[in-house]
Every structure is written in structure tokens, then in C-alpha cells.
Amino acid sequence: MSSASLCDACCGVDGRRPTGAKRPTRTAAPSSIGTVTDTTDAQVDSTGPLGGVAVVTGAGAGIGAAIAAALVEHGTRVVVSDIDADAVARIAADLGPNAVAVPGDAADLAVIERMVDTARERFGPVDLYVANAGVAGGVGLESTDAQWRSALEVNVMAQVRAARLLVPEWLERGAGYFLATASAAGLLTQIGSPTYSASKHASVAFAEWLSVTYGDRGIGVSCLCPMGVNTALLHSGFSEGSPDGAIAAAAVTTAGAVLEPKDVAREVIAGIERGSFLILPHPEVLEMYRGKGADYERWLSGMRRYRRVLEQGAAAGGE
């Protein structure tokens, strides 16, 4: 499966500023661990890294391509990357002289280094890294070790390796911005896919850690957590011919509105401008997350009930 953004299919489910610009103005930290602040009010009054140099992974289609286009529209020069070399070359050509393609696996350190070096040579130091590439992995307990490794490599370690490379430079400059595409599955869960659920939870956790550790040192961090987005991966990401695959796909399409990639990209730009940590193109996810934290047992019971409804629908559709 391509490492193009899977949160395009997420539930659940996307997936793989000029230097010295003003740092986002941040609100006070939550009064208790686990408190969720409304992203419409958080970290306002910032131009962020827009207009600088960005890298966008998983940019061969879907959310990644839409984010790259939106960044270019806002004056940002971008390096676009995807494992699909032909697709990302077409995206770069469509975006014009302010974009250049670097194909490759977003989890490969050599590819990450090549993206950053290319950005520096063509446009200047990287101000914004959009770690958007992602994969589904597998479905059910039948998910193989190889599928688990793929999900953890692309959905988590690709982000870790990029941060290792860029954060020291950003600390020296006193500015930088890291945007991780996770998923609503990282805050809630993905029915049907343990690999996607676990890896996207880890992606959210890593982004949280980055913000807690470096947010007072000039580095902005955002975490994009959409539900369903209308891309090819929405229809094929979990289609493995198994009952769990069908249920996972149904969970994506029935959980909420299916957005267009350009709508998600618009929310990303707004979130970067605010300096928001959570970027939620489906605002109802915040209420779902609050409900989960408020009564975990009730939330688990409700999710089991939802799975039963999806199973019944899948059974009826197969008759």
C-alpha cells in the first residue's frame, strides 16, 4: 500500500515562516492532565511558518497533496514527497516553481535527509515539517508482524526520525513547526484495525511529547486528527476481503461527514495560523474525546454497540 496519507480514510480514520518568524502566542497550560482545550481559542495570533519552507510527506494524493497546494497558495515553498514517484512528480509540476518532488519512503532516514537537504538547497532551511504519510497496516488479530512493522514505521517512526533531524536545528534558530497527521483514531479508536489504532495513538502521544518538551522553546506542534476524507484510500485502505476490513471501512464512512481533502487543508492552514495543537476538521471529534475521558466504561460499551451495528450491516449487505 502506498504511504500516501491514510488519514484520508480515517475514522476513525488519513495514508506517509520565514526563519525567525513570530512564535505562536500560547494560552496557559491546562489545569490538569488530560484536560482538552477548544482548539478555536488556543494559541492564537500567529502567522506561524506560512510563507517559509515546508516539507510535506504523503503528498502524492489526498490530504498531503491538498496541504501542499494550500501552503503554496500562502506563499510557502514546499518539498513534496511520496513513495509513489510518478504521483508526487505530477503534484510538484502542478504546483509550479515553488515546489520540488523528492520521492521515497517517508520512514527511511536517508529519504528524510534528502528531503531536508533538497529544501535547503532549493529554498532554504525547513521551517515546517508536515509528517503526513501513513498506512493502514492490517485488520483484526490476523494482522501480520510485517503489517504491524509497516504501521509503526510509517505512522510513528517516520515522525520520530524527522523530529530528531530537525528539532536541534530549530532550537538553535529559535523557531520551527512540526505537524503530525494522526487521525481521530488516535484519540478514539479504529474499529477493525488494531495496527491503525495503536500506531495513530502513538503518533498523537509523540506529538504531545514534542509540544510539552519544546513548546516553550520556539517550536510549534500541531496534530491533525480527521475522520473520513474523500480519497481513493477511503474506499480501499481497509478493503482486504475480510469481515474486519469491511467493518473498518464502514466505521469510516458512517462515523461522520466525509470531507474533501481541500476542506481538511483549509483547516490545517487555519490551525497553523492559530498555533493550535489539535486540528480537528470534524469538530465533533472533540466532544467524542471528552465523552471518552468523562466515562471510559460507557464509551467502551458504546463502541462495542457500534461495532455490533456495523457487523449486522455488513452481514445484511452480504445476503
Q: For 218-261, how does the pLDDT look when each residue is reduced to its tens digit (9 = 90+)?
A: 999 999 999 988 776 666 656 556 666 667 766 766 667 889 99
Q: Which of 100, 225, 109 is nearest to 163 (CA)?
A: 109
Beta bridge pairs of residue 56: 80, 130
Neighbours of 51 (CB within 10 A): 17
Cα 87 to Cα 106: distance, rounded to the nearest angstrom: 15
Is 196 an active-site residue? Answer: yes
CATH architecture type of domain 6-318:
3-Layer(aba) Sandwich (3.40)
Who wins on pLDDT, 251 or 210?
A: 210
Per-residue pLDDT of 12-62, as tens digits, reads 333 333 333 333 333 333 322 233 334 333 333 345 699 999 999 999 999
Identify the pLDDT of residue 37. Answer: 37
Catalytic residue from among 196, 289, 296, 306: 196
* Tens of pLDDT, residues 101-126: 999 999 999 999 999 999 999 999 99
Q: Give tens-digit pLDDT for 147-192.
A: 999 999 999 999 999 999 999 999 999 999 999 999 999 999 999 8
The grid coordinates listed for 7 are 488519514
Burial of 116 (0-12, 13-18, 19+ CB in 10 A): buried
| Cα angle, residue 159 at apex, residues 282 and 214 outer, rounded to 5° | 90
Q: Which of residues 18 and 280 earns the better pLDDT score? A: 280
Q: Check pLDDT > 60 for residue 292.
A: yes
Helix (H, G, I), strand (E, B) or coil at 216: coil
CA angle 116, 170, 45 (to 5 degrees): 110
Confidence of residue 312 (pLDDT cuts 50, 70, 90): confident
Domain boundaries, the chain: 6-318
Average pLDDT over residues 71-81: 98
Instruction: Could you list the beta-strand ranges (E) of 110-155.
Output: 128-131
What pLDDT sits at residue 88?
A: 98
